[in-house]
């Protein structure tokens, strides 16, 4: 290409033909199986265009953008079709929004090329880019609807960084939302990003959409986006883009996620019902007949020929065809689209790898009056009905209530141990905190247990705000002992804890008489019956950063080491001590330890008892 003619030197069509198609895997966040490949175009080094975006801008200026996008899309489809897994996964391709404004933007040519390549339209997913806004929202919506009628999937790319993400989400009714890498980068250490992603996931799942986390580069980010509920993951951690199909794998189990793939629990499996779905293209009369025959669910799932979930036909939406006076005439009307596809709507979908808690949360977020369609890698498995989900929700509520502390209503020992166990299994990084009150007994003795309860409730309320501000897990071990785990590093964790302790130390003075506040404390008997002066009530904290991916300890060792810094924290001027990582913790001589913190606390109280005389 050294001797280019002036006419081709900056010709977008010429350089589109010379573009090199790279593929990057998109994998299931839990099973790590490939769900699809994204096609990414790279230009040769000789190209006068600095990037593919610059080429597209030039093509738009010359009214050639529709031709350039067609070249790139057909090249990607042709290359993708040669991969042995192509018919089982999806090809994700970006299309510039400005294409949708062009009069020659019909998808017919692309659909025909898919068929020529022995692929189904459902194998293709068009990514709506928000790099530049479309000139006409109406044209965009109409063309997207046309693609969807052919069963092509739609995704919103770079969600959160474009011109009008929520507006586009409403306008095009996509199948996927791809969260921009800005929000996934360092999500494991930036609570605000984690909170945003969690809320986007809840919103998407409530609308029956799937979520792809883009730009994941580190195992900690992978664990964080998976825990936030993202369905699929894409990024350098999985694989870098490659032009060589032979470099691609059907799955990527070597990715260090720290957690085994999810599976259906026996309880959830027992509750799933499996009504036969309707197939895409089937006449709506099939749905009408089933409802007339006493079908006992409010909807019938709809799938394509490969079992991918397209939506569902609800009885309420076709009631006029089932019971109406003119139902027979309507079913014979040639002017009405009689396929089930025309009546199918998107309903919330739950993956079978979801935990009981995740399924209940998805159901609650969706505010569904129908239940959840259950899927495995987006293929139909069955249905969890409203009744089944209410049973799961009730069982979870009972379990939570049993474990809650009766005074503060915070999670108790079982929930704390479950959280630590989950973090250990997931290999996450957490900064863990053990809180304990200083001078609590003399305060109780002088002011009474009601005042002591008010102090505990005051701290619990401040912990609740602490939880909200730092995306923390909090719990009440018992008595005046509390627990927290934060998704931040030790330095940020220490600063957050110091602020919490200072606020409590100030607020708790409202529970004392003015004269005691002025004196800086009270006189009372110690544990040995000796009268002495005690400073005002405060909380102290042991802060311990833990990298669960390299931790050598069991749950007991982790919790024991955390609470072991209590005495040092009480002696510290600010009430905080930084404990060394649990990777360095000691193991008892017999290797055994209780995982019940209340038992450990009772042993500590016994250690504080008066010495016995000989």
User: Residues 538-581: pLDDT tens digits?
Assistant: 999 999 998 887 777 777 888 888 888 999 999 999 999 998 76
Token match 């921009």: residue? 180
Mean pLDDT across the stretch 43-55? 89
* Helix boundaries (H) for 435-593: 440-447, 449-470, 490-507, 514-519, 555-563, 566-571
Residue 432 pairs in a beta bridge with 485, 544
> Which pLDDT score, from 0 to 100, does residue 352 have?
81
Taking alpha carbons only, the member of 419, 401, 418 closest to residue 410 is 401
In the chain, pLDDT over 90 holds for what percent of residues? Answer: 45
- pLDDT bin (cut points 50, 70, 90) of residue 314 is very high
pLDDT for the residue numbered 604: 44
pLDDT at 613: 33
Domains of the chain: 15-247 (3.20.20.450), 266-394 (3.10.580.10), 406-607 (3.30.70.270)
Best-predicted range by mean pLDDT (139-153, 308-322, 397-411, 451-465): 451-465
More confident residue, 610 or 557: 557
* Per-residue model confidence (pLDDT) at position 5: 55
Q: Give per-residue pLDDT as tens, 170-199.
A: 888 899 999 999 999 999 888 888 889 988
pLDDT in tens, 226-285: 888 898 999 999 999 999 999 999 999 887 555 444 455 677 888 999 999 999 889 999
**Mean pLDDT score across all residues of the chain:** 84
Q: What is the pLDDT of residue 577?
A: 94
Report the C-alpha dihedral over residues 303, 297, 203, 379, rounded to 10 degrees: -30
Burial, 545: exposed, middle or buried (Cβ in 10 Å; 0-12, 13-18, 19+)?
buried
- pLDDT of 256 reads 57
Question: In the predicted model, is pLDDT for residue 7 greater than 80?
Answer: no
123, pLDDT greater than 50: yes
pLDDT, position 363: 77
Dist. CA 251–CA 239, nearest whole Å: 11
Question: What is the rounded CA–CA span in Å between residue 420 and residue 238?
Answer: 27
- pLDDT, position 395: 82
Query: Tell me, what's the pLDDT at 538?
Result: 96
Residue 536 and residue 521: Cα distance in Å, rounded? Answer: 5
Tens-place pLDDT, residues 343-401:
888 888 888 877 777 788 777 776 667 788 998 877 899 999 988 888 888 887 777 77
pTM: 0.66
- Phi (first) and psi of residue 542, to 5 degrees: -105, 120
Q: pLDDT by residue (tens digit) across 487-518?
A: 888 888 999 999 999 999 999 999 999 999 99
What's the mean pLDDT in 194-205? 87
* pLDDT of 336 over the 50 cut: yes
CA distances from 444 to 47, 79, 124, 454 (A): 78, 75, 68, 11
């Amino acid at each position: 290409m050294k001797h280019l003619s002036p006419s081709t030197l900056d010709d977008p069509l010429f350089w589109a033909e010379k573009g090199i198609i790279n593929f990057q895997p998109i994998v299931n966040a839990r099973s790590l199986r490939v769900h699809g490949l994204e096609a990414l175009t790279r230009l040769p080094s000789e190209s006068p265009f600095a990037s593919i975006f610059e080429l597209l801008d030039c093509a738009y200026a010359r009214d050639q953008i529709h031709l350039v996008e067609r070249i790139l899309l057909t090249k990607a489809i042709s290359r993708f079709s040669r991969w042995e897994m192509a018919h089982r996964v999806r090809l994700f391709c970006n299309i510039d929004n400005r294409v949708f404004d062009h009069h020659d933007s019909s998808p017919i040519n692309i659909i025909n090329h898919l068929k020529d390549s022995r692929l189904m339209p459902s194998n293709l997913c068009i990514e709506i880019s928000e790099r530049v806004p479309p000139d006409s929202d109406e044209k965009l919506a109409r063309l997207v609807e046309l693609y969807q009628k052919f069963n092509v999937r739609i995704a919103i790319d770079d969600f959160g960084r474009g011109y009008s993400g929520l507006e586009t989400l409403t306008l095009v009714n996509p199948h996927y939302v791809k969260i921009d890498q800005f929000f996934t980068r360092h999500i494991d250490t930036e609570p605000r990003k984690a909170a945003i992603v969690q809320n986007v996931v809840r919103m998407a799942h409530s609308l029956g959409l799937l979520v792809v986390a883009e730009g994941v580069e580190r195992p900690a980010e992978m664990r964080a986006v998976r825990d936030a509920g993202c369905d699929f993951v894409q990024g350098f951690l999985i694989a870098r883009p490659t032009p060589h199909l032979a470099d691609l794998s059907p799955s990527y189990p070597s990715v260090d996620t720290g957690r085994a793939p999810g599976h259906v629990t026996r309880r959830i499996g027992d509750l799933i019902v499996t009504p036969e779905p309707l197939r895409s293209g089937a006449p709506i009369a099939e749905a009408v007949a089933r409802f007339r025959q006493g079908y006992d669910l409010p909807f019938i799932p709809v799938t394509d020929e490969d079992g991918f979930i397209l939506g569902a036909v609800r009885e309420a939406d076709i009631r006029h065809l089932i019971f109406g006076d003119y139902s027979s005439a309507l079913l014979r009307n040639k002017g009405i689209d009689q396929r089930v596809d025309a009546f199918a709507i998107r309903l919330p979908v739950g993956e079978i790898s979801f935990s009981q808690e995740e399924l209940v949360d998805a159901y609650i977020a969706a505010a569904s009056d129908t239940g959840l369609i259950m899927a495995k890698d987006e293929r139909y498995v069955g249905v969890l009905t409203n009744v089944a989900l209410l049973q799961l929700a009730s069982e979870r509520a009972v379990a939570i209530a049993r474990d809650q502390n009766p005074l503060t209503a915070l999670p108790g020992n079982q929930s704390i141990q479950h959280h630590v166990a989950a973090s250990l299994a997931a290999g996450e990084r957490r900064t863990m905190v053990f809180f304990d009150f200083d001078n609590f007994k003399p305060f109780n003795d002088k002011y009474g247990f009601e005042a002591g309860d008010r102090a505990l409730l005051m701290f619990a309320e401040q912990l609740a705000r602490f939880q909200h501000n730092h995306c923390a897990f909090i719990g009440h071990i018992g008595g005046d002992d509390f627990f927290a785990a934060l998704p931040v590093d030790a330095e940020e964790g220490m600063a957050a804890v110091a602020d919490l302790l200072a606020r409590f130390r100030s607020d708790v003075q409202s529970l004392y008489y003015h004269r005691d506040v002025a004196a800086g404390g009270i006189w009372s008997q110690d544990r040995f019956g000796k009268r002495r002066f005690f400073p005002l009530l405060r909380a102290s904290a042991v802060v311990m950063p833990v990298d669960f991916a390299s931790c050598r300890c069991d749950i007991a060792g982790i919790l024991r080491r955390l609470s072991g810094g209590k005495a040092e924290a009480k002696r510290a001027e600010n009430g905080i001590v930084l404990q060394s990582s649990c990777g360095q913790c000691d193991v008892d001589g017999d290797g055994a330890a209780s995982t019940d913190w209340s038992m450990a606390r009772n042993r500590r109280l016994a250690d504080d008892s008066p010495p016995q005389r000989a």
